[in-house]
Structure 1
């Protein structure tokens, strides 16, 4: 029984990997379960044993992305107290793993890093948005503990919007230009967030 379960988990992971590639290449709206099944090398019937529809696949990808983002962010801040880091280092440690995650997961951008979220994706995106907002709020709280909660939330939302607005430019830059564009993004975030601290 455990062997069958492991095979099932492996097959689900392969389908999700394939879905990420299909979503990245075609976009959410044009992607089909048939295309995802073909990319995964399984029959559509096999895919439906694991996922009822495209929305279920997107929701499963969202869960995976939330877990991966959490791990990347925790690893970046491992052993560090955010309140003792200066803003440039804190922004580096926060932004770098999120950018690396986006580069490594093109399906994420196609699904969840977009301003025109289709209705079918809105529910799947909620855990990602909540996790990201929570992470940014915790960093802001560490650096500006006297900030009222509603201001902290608003500031985190603005910082995330700045990041998301520049993300297509960063990801679309040629590899040799990307570090310079990332530096500009960090500069904008630094100017905005450093004003919170006296």
Structure 2
């Protein structure tokens, strides 16, 4: 919803300078989105690295939520770009690919905790976790300071309480 003049002012350049590099706001959004998606890919490669199955669930969930939340708090425009109504077509396609890779990473983490679960159950659980995270992230991003920290704790609690019974059942069956 920002104007190119406002973008130029925020960037500390003249509108003319901005137009030398970007013909319109969509081009700016695409470039910014590309850069942030690349950074997000690097970050989630670390956040969703293979886990030792003996890792406590709270530690695994906390580590993933902390990394993803920190990224989104550093780059709140990422959430707006990726979930806004005017996402440019090319960016939407790249976001869909990023989302599919992210979901596969979450599935791998969940599969480490639920090694005997059918693939369809792991996929459903991963989708549910991602949906819960995205809903909670919107609340996290709309607050600051201690209130933001409280929402992050609540988000972790929701995910842990959702996953804990499944993990406990899998571990007792093993």
Residue 26 of structure 2 is aligned with which of 55, 75, 87?
55
Residues 14-51 of structure 1 deviation map (CA, whole Å, 9 limit, x = unaligned): xxxxxxxxxxxxxxxx2234432343234545444544
Is the contact made by 2:48 and 2:106 (CA closer than 8 Å) also made in structure 1?
no
Change (3 A) 1:71 1:119: closer
> Which segments of 5 or more consecutive residues in structure 2 lack a partner in the other structure?
none
Cα distance in 1 for residues equivalent to 2:156 and 2:36: 23
In the alignment, does 2:92 pair up with 1:98? Answer: no
Q: For residues 20-39 of structure 1, what are the structure 2 equivalents within 5 Å?
A: 30-39=1-10
Residue 156 of structure 1 is aligned with which of 113, 126, 136?
126
TM-score normalised over the length of structure 2: 0.76
Q: How far is the alpha carbon of 1:92 from its aligned partner?
A: 0.7
| Residue of structure 2 in register with 1:118 after alignment | 86
Cα distance in 2 for residues equivalent to 1:126 and 1:50: 26
Cα distance in 1 for residues equivalent to 2:19 and 2:52: 44
Is the contact made by 2:22 and 2:28 (CA closer than 8 Å) also made in structure 1?
yes
Q: How far is the alpha carbon of 1:77 from its aligned partner?
A: 6.2
Q: How far is the alpha carbon of 1:180 from its aligned partner?
A: 2.4
| Residue of structure 1 in register with 2:163 after alignment | 193
Change (3 A) 1:140 1:55: farther
Q: How far is the alpha carbon of 1:186 from its aligned partner?
A: 0.7
| Residue of structure 2 in register with 1:66 after alignment | 37
Residue 145 of structure 2 is aligned with which of 175, 182, 186?
175
Structural RMSD (CA) = 2.7
Cα distance in 2 for residues equivalent to 1:67 and 1:119: 17
Q: Alignment partner of 1:154: what SS?
A: helix
| Residue of structure 2 in register with 1:134 after alignment | 104
TM-score normalised over the length of structure 1: 0.69
Change (3 A) 1:90 1:111: same
State the number of aligned residues.
166
Cα distance in 1 for residues equivalent to 2:32 and 2:141: 20
